[in-house]
Amino acid sequence: MDSPQPLLEMEHITKSFGAVQALQDVAFRVYPGEAVGLVGDNGAGKSTLVKIISGVEHPDSGTIRFDGREVTIRNPEDARTMGIETLYQDLALINNLDIVANMFLGRELVQPWLRGAIQVLRSREMEAEARQILERLKINIGSVREKVEVLSGGQRQAISLGRAVGWGKKLILLDEPTAALGLREAQQALEIIGRLKDEGIATVIISHNLQHVFSVVDRIVVIRRGVIRGERLIGEVVGDEIVSMITGVAELRTIEGGLQPSSA
């Protein structure tokens, strides 16, 4: 990347759950506005790494720098304050509130004394801003005054992404964003994720669907059994080397000198 200063820089990150070493001496970087795909088999440590970034889990050792300074991410609140948003499978939207209210949920709480008198005015302002953000991300929603409960899974995710943009987040973490979506919705979700780049927002995307990852990310990082096995800029990927890195076949080949994939 031509950007000299990473937005997120993790070094020597180690994390165990009892006897299970989930992460081992992990180095992971994300540059501003960059989309990074984090791939690996089940149990490789992907979610654990993302949970550390989002403050849900804590590393046993290692350092994290964000926006140029060393940080301790004690909890999800810390992460959010720093500008890190995580999109979970069960999205934290409130069903019986409309899209505008959901997009601004919590944001008005910053100045509680402003509630009441100028609420109507704020409401119109919020509606205009919500609409503008959704337009920028090309999210097609009938009306921003629609209650969230009538939306599809893909639309809900889109609203959550719009919400993160509205909050001025710098990094969005997506753990299997397309897993629960149908084909068409998954495609739309990927398009929206791709547009976050234009907003200058960096993303980390975990997905077992390599095609999905390849269609949106700039760089792909492979983790296996808690260890980062390699990374590639998307334009530099050769053949099926990512699959080989995920399964460990590439290393076997090197170590054993000519082992075929089938014998791994």
Per-residue H/E/C for 94-109: CCCCEHHHHHHCCCHH
CB of 222 to ligand ADP, least distance (A): 11
Choice between 9 and 175, CB closer to ligand ADP: 175
Residues 10-39, one symbol each (x = binds ligand ADP by CB under 6 A, - = not), give: -------x--x-x-----------------
Binding status of residue 209 toward Mg ion by CB under 5 A: no
Choice between 45 and 154, CB closer to ligand ADP: 45
Phi and psi for 122 in degrees, rounded to 5? Answer: -55, -40
CB of 252 to Mg ion, least distance (A): 24
Among positions 47, 123, 209, 215, the unique one binding Mg ion when judged by CB under 5 A: 47
Q: Which residues contact 101 (CB under 8 A, 6 or more apart)?
A: 94
Q: Which long-range contacts (CB under 8 A, 24 or more apart) does 123-132 make?
A: 126/100, 127/100, 129/166, 130/99, 130/100, 130/103, 130/104, 130/162, 130/166
Residue 220 amino acid letter: I
Among positions 14, 24, 47, 209, the unique one binding ligand ADP when judged by CB under 6 A: 47
How many whole angstroms separate alpha carbon 107 and alpha carbon 172? 17
Residue 262 touches which of Mg ion, ligand ADP, none (Cβ within 5-8 Å per kind): none
CB of 129 to ligand ADP, least distance (A): 35
Among the residue ranges 44-52, 101-109, 142-150, 237-245, the one whose residues contact ligand ADP (CB under 6 A)? 44-52
Choice between 147 and 225, CB closer to ligand ADP: 225
Choice between 130 and 222, CB closer to ligand ADP: 222
Query: From residue 211, how far is each of 91, 143, 152, 234 by CA, in Å?
Result: 24, 32, 23, 12
Residue 43 touches which of Mg ion, ligand ADP, none (Cβ within 5-8 Å per kind): ligand ADP
Residue 14 touches which of Mg ion, ligand ADP, none (Cβ within 5-8 Å per kind): none
How many whole angstroms separate alpha carbon 79 and alpha carbon 163? 16
How many whole angstroms separate alpha carbon 131 and alpha carbon 129? 5
The separation between CA 136 and the C-alpha centre of its own chain, rounded to angstroms, equals 19
CB of 173 to ligand ADP, least distance (A): 12
3-state SS class at 197: helix
Choice between 47 and 209, CB closer to ligand ADP: 47
DSSP structural state of residue 259: -
Choice between 88 and 167, CB closer to ligand ADP: 88
CB of 28 to Mg ion, least distance (A): 15
How many whole angstroms separate alpha carbon 190 and alpha carbon 193? 5
How many whole angstroms separate alpha carbon 78 and alpha carbon 84? 9
Binding status of residue 59 toward ligand ADP by CB under 6 A: no
Contacts with Mg ion by CB under 5 A lie at 47
Contacts with ligand ADP by CB under 6 A lie at 17, 20, 22, 40, 42-48
